[in-house]
C-alpha cells in the first residue's frame, strides 16, 4: 500500500510538473505570437505608408506636429520611416526565428536569445538617436524652423508631448494625405 501511494504521489508530481512546463511553454508561445502579430501590423502600416503617392508615417507625424514642413525635412522623414521599416522587419524576423525554434522543440541558440533584446534596444536607440540627429539638422536655429511660426519643439519632453497629443486615427488614415492644419 505504501509503495502504491509513493508511486501515485510521484506520478501526480510528474504530472503537475509536466503540466506546469507545458502550460508555461504554451503561454510563452502565445505571448510570442501576439507580439509577432502586433509587430507585423506595425511594420505593415509603415511599409504601406512608403508606397508611391502616399505620405510616410513619420512625415505625417511631422505634418501633424509642425504644420507645413519643407521639402528637405519631408525627404528626411521618409528616410526615417525607411529606417523604422528596416528595424521593425529585423525584429519581426527575430520573432519568427524564435517561434520556429519553439515549434521545432529545439534549444534556442544563444545568438538568437541575445538578438531580440538587442533589436528592441536598437528600436529605442533609433527613437532617441533620430531625435538628437533631427535636432542637429532641423533644430530651432535652422532656417526652415525660423520661418515656421508653428515650430515650438525644443526639448525631448516637448517632442514626446506633441507626439502623444496626436490622435492615432489621424496618423493611420488610409489615404495618408497631407493633413489639414
> What does the block give as the cell for 60?
505625417
**151/72: higher pLDDT:** 72
Residue 180 lies in a domain: no
Residue 98 lies in a domain: yes
- Closest to 44 (Cα-Cα) out of 10, 6, 88: 88
Is-contact 139 73, C-beta < 8 A? no
The reported pLDDT for the residue numbered 39 is: 86
Residue 19 lies in a domain: yes
The reported pLDDT for the residue numbered 84 is: 93
For 31-42, what is each residue's pLDDT tens digit? 777 888 888 888
DSSP secondary structure, 152-166, as one string: ---SHHHHHHHHHHS
Please report which confidence band the pLDDT of residue 8 belongs to, taking 50, 70 and 90 as the band edges.
Answer: low
For 53-93, what is each residue's pLDDT tens digit? 888 999 998 888 887 788 888 999 999 999 999 999 988 88
Largest pairwise CA distance in the chain: 91
Arithmetic mean of pLDDT over the chain: 76
End-to-end CA distance of the chain: 83
Residue 44 lies in a domain: yes
Residue 88 lies in a domain: yes
The pTM of the full predicted model, rounded to 2 decimals, is 0.72
Structural domain of 135: 2-171
Using DSSP's 3-state secondary structure scheme, residue 6 falls into helix
Residue 177 lies in a domain: no
Domain count, the chain: 1
Amino acid at each position: 500500500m505504501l509503495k502504491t501511494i509513493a508511486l501515485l504521489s510521484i506520478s501526480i508530481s510528474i504530472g503537475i510538473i509536466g503540466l506546469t512546463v507545458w502550460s508555461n511553454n504554451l503561454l510563452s508561445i502565445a505571448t510570442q505570437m501576439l507580439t509577432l502579430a502586433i509587430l507585423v501590423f506595425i511594420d505593415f502600416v509603415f511599409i504601406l505608408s512608403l508606397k508611391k503617392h502616399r505620405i510616410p508615417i513619420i512625415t505625417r507625424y511631422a505634418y501633424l506636429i509642425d504644420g507645413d514642413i519643407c521639402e528637405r525635412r519631408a525627404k528626411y522623414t521618409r528616410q526615417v520611416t525607411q529606417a523604422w521599416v528596416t528595424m521593425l522587419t529585423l525584429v519581426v524576423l527575430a520573432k519568427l526565428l524564435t517561434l520556429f525554434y519553439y515549434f521545432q522543440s529545439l534549444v534556442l541558440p544563444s545568438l538568437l536569445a541575445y538578438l531580440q533584446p538587442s533589436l528592441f534596444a536598437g528600436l529605442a536607440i533609433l527613437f532617441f538617436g533620430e531625435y538628437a540627429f533631427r535636432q542637429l539638422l532641423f533644430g530651432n536655429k535652422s532656417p526652415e524652423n525660423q520661418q515656421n511660426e508653428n515650430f515650438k519643439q525644443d526639448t525631448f519632453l516637448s517632442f514626446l508631448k506633441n507626439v502623444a497629443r496626436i490622435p492615432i486615427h489621424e496618423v493611420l488614415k488610409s489615404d495618408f494625405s497631407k493633413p489639414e492644419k
